[in-house]
């Protein structure tokens, strides 16, 4: 993912992602970063800041080509980045 000024995610706001079992970022060339039991996400100008298992902090810079995760409740996904309908 590249940095964008048109992010649909709320930047700088702490988002609860504790319903995720893990979060896996895939980078060009096949490098992967997996965070087990993530707790919170903050989207910044240059990447994601995540607290994970045991509240260890992670910084993931922009540049990934794929991001995926698995939820605890496999029936209910919530995508926070969906744009609200225009009035």
Q: Spell out the per-residue pLDDT of the chain, length 87, in tens.
A: 555 566 656 667 888 899 899 999 999 999 999 999 999 999 888 899 999 888 899 999 999 999 998 888 876 655 554 444 544
Question: Where do the domains of the chain lie?
Answer: 15-71
For the 15-71 domain, the top CATH level (class) is mainly beta
CB 1 within 8 A of CB 26: no
Query: Nearest Cα to 79, choosing from 69, 46, 5, 87?
Result: 69
How far, in Å, are 25, 29, 52, 73, 86 from residue 65 at the CA level? Answer: 8, 10, 21, 25, 29
């Amino acid at each position: 993912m590249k940095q964008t000024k048109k992010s649909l995610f709320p930047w700088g706001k702490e988002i609860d992602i504790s319903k995720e079992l893990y979060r896996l970022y895939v980078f060009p060339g096949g490098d992967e970063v997996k965070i087990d039991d993530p707790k919170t996400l903050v989207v910044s100008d240059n990447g994601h800041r995540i607290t994970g298992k045991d509240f260890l902090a992670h910084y993931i810079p922009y540049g990934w080509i794929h991001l995926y995760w698995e939820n605890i409740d496999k029936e209910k996904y919530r995508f926070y980045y969906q744009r609200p309908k225009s009035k």
